[in-house]
Amino acid sequence: MTILAQVGVSLAGLACLALVPFGLPGLWLLALVGLGIPWLGGAWGDVWILAGAALLAELLELISSVGIAKRTGAGRQGMWGAFLGGMVGAIVLIPIIPPLGTLLGAGVGSFAGAFLLENIFGGRDQSESLRVGKGAFLGTLLGRILKLWIGVFQLVWLCWSIWFLQ
């Protein structure tokens, strides 16, 4: 029974990690799957590490997307454009380019939203708006990539905790 449970928890963790590129809360679900660690004889501290990693991933994604956009000169309009454009782009490209449609859509949508709102409402010329759009695109992609890598860390920690530290 224990090996079957270990395999089940490991596969559930892998399935949660697969949700991250789609913009779904896979890292938080992976932390919930980590509740299986104490059930299999592991420590509660491992569950807290998984939850802390999920929180860190969310913060890094936000800091990355906002920080790079701001560094390239985005104003309030550009920030809102990047945020809204990223959401719309992720939703629109899901069925067009699975499974990476959400990742690319978020980046392209962030670029378009930041560029358009900075150009229209921010009083910037096209070259400045283009620079802000590029920053929003890069920040969004970097944030998602960081989030995915932290998810890989979570999955490795989960598997290590249930397979080797008993």
Domain boundaries defined on the chain: 2-45+56-163
Q: How confident is the model over 23-81, as pLDDT tens digits?
A: 788 999 999 999 988 988 889 999 999 999 999 998 998 888 778 888 888 888 888 88
pTM over 0.75: yes
Cβ neighbours for 11, distance < 8 A, ≥ 6 positions apart: none
pLDDT at 166: 57
